[in-house]
């Protein structure tokens, strides 16, 4: 029994990470009707932003020991900043020129950006993992046989916090409303006086900020950052977003947790080495049987 609880905790931890990344996919799809395949790389670059920050703190100061909460907070912000900057550049150079091109073109462009970023980092790090200094306090809470490390609690809490913040941002602020308007009908939104270009950039920014923060936290949790670390979580988060209904924010959150829990339980049921298979099988099933996801609307093909 304890093992199932442990697996549930694992699932929620991972699910939170997937959900946060999935939000980026879903937001961008909402406003641009395109899947930003390079989103996983934003996650990875955020992690590296955080790594180099913590590494700098480690080598030049002893603040990692004396003020870990500060250095971690700075690292997370650095990660977010890295992702945001990259996202803005990406949008400007790789997606905006293709806004009126056939729908396949920005997709291919996204894949190109993804490959470019990943291989750049591979070369930069000589394909070696960068191991994080141990800043986050080691240790765990033990309830009977169940063991929850502090970093896991931190990850869960942070994911929930960010999701909450995003939700409030989208529902309650003017920019958020603009984002929803552009997602619904771009031309009418423009006629209403919304600056569509700026809104799209801000959408990218929000998604990227979340991915960057998730990247830093995930890398601290797995203790290292590697150039290829964004690939698999990127695809899985995409699966999560599609599962929940691409374009739907609650859908992305639901999809993330659903996928995280499915993966976690599957390690017990079919073995840990098949963990990654679950995401892909789910993706295929969803695309075949219910492509609009759990929370999405059936989108009829337009001419």
Residue-wise DSSP of 100-116: TS-THHHHHHHHHHHHH
Distance in angstroms (rounded) separating the CA atoms of residues 16 and 255 = 10
What value, to the nearest 5°, has the Cα angle with vertex 138 and ends 133 and 141? 155
Distance in angstroms (rounded) separating the CA atoms of residues 49 and 114 = 17
51 versus 194: smaller Cβ distance to other proteins: 51
Q: Is the dihedral of CA 235, 239, 244, 246 positive or negative?
A: positive
1 versus 191: smaller Cβ distance to other proteins: 1
113 versus 179: smaller Cβ distance to other proteins: 113
Contact 40, 230 (CB under 8 A): yes
Q: How far is the CB of 2 from other proteins (least distance, A)?
A: 8
Q: How far is the CB of 98 from other proteins (least distance, A)?
A: 15
Distances (CA, A) of 261 to 15, 18, 66, 267, 278: 7, 11, 36, 10, 11
Distance in angstroms (rounded) separating the CA atoms of residues 143 and 292 = 41
Q: How far is the CB of 34 from other proteins (least distance, A)?
A: 12
Closest CA to 213 of 82, 79, 23: 79
Closest CA to 176 of 293, 31, 21: 31
Q: How far is the CB of 140 from other proteins (least distance, A)?
A: 6
177 versus 267: smaller Cβ distance to other proteins: 267
Distance in angstroms (rounded) separating the CA atoms of residues 195 and 182 = 9
Q: How far is the CB of 56 from other proteins (least distance, A)?
A: 18
Structure tokens at 181: 């308007």
Q: How far is the CB of 175 from other proteins (least distance, A)?
A: 32
Binding site for other proteins (CB under 8 A): 2-3, 6-7, 10, 13-14, 37, 103-104, 107-108, 111, 114-115, 118, 122, 126-129, 131, 133-134, 138-140, 142, 145, 147, 149, 151, 218, 221-224, 226-229, 231, 235, 264, 267-268, 271-273, 275-276, 301, 303
Q: What letter does residue 91 receive in the DSSP assignment?
A: I
131: β partners: 224
167 versus 221: smaller Cβ distance to other proteins: 221
The single residue listed with the structure tokens 């790789």 is: 94
80 versus 229: smaller Cβ distance to other proteins: 229
70 versus 127: smaller Cβ distance to other proteins: 127
Q: How far is the CB of 248 from other proteins (least distance, A)?
A: 21
């Amino acid at each position: 029994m304890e093992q199932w609880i442990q697996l549930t905790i694992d699932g929620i931890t991972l699910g939170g990470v997937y959900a946060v990344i999935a939000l980026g996919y879903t937001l961008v799809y909402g406003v641009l009707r395109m899947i930003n395949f390079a989103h996983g790389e934003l996650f990875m670059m955020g992690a590296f932003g955080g790594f180099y920050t913590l590494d700098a703190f480690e080598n030049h100061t002893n603040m990692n020991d004396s003020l870990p909460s500060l250095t971690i907070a700075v690292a997370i912000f650095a990660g977010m900043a890295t992702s945001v900057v990259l996202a803005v550049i990406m949008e400007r150079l790789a997606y905006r020129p293709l806004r009126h091109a056939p729908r396949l073109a920005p997709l291919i462009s996204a894949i190109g950006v993804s490959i470019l970023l990943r291989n750049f980092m591979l070369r930069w790090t000589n394909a070696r993992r960068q191991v994080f200094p141990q800043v986050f306090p080691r240790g765990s809470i033990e309830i009977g046989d169940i063991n929850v490390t502090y970093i896991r609690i931190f990850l869960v809490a942070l994911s929930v916090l960010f999701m909450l913040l995003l939700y409030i941002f989208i529902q309650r602020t003017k920019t958020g409303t603009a984002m929803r308007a552009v997602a619904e009908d771009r031309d009418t939104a423009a006629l209403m006086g919304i600056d569509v270009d700026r809104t799209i950039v801000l959408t990218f920014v929000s998604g990227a900020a979340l991915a960057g923060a998730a990247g830093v936290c995930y890398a601290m949790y797995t203790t290292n950052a590697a150039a290829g670390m964004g690939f698999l979580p990127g695809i899985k988060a995409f699966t999560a977003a599609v599962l929940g209904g691409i374009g739907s924010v609650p859908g992305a959150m639901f999809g993330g947790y659903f996928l995280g829990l499915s993966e976690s339980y599957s390690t017990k049921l079919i073995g840990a080495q098949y963990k990654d298979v679950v995401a892909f099988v789910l993706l295929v099933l969803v695309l075949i049987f219910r492509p609009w996801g759990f929370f999405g609307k059936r989108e009829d093909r337009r001419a």
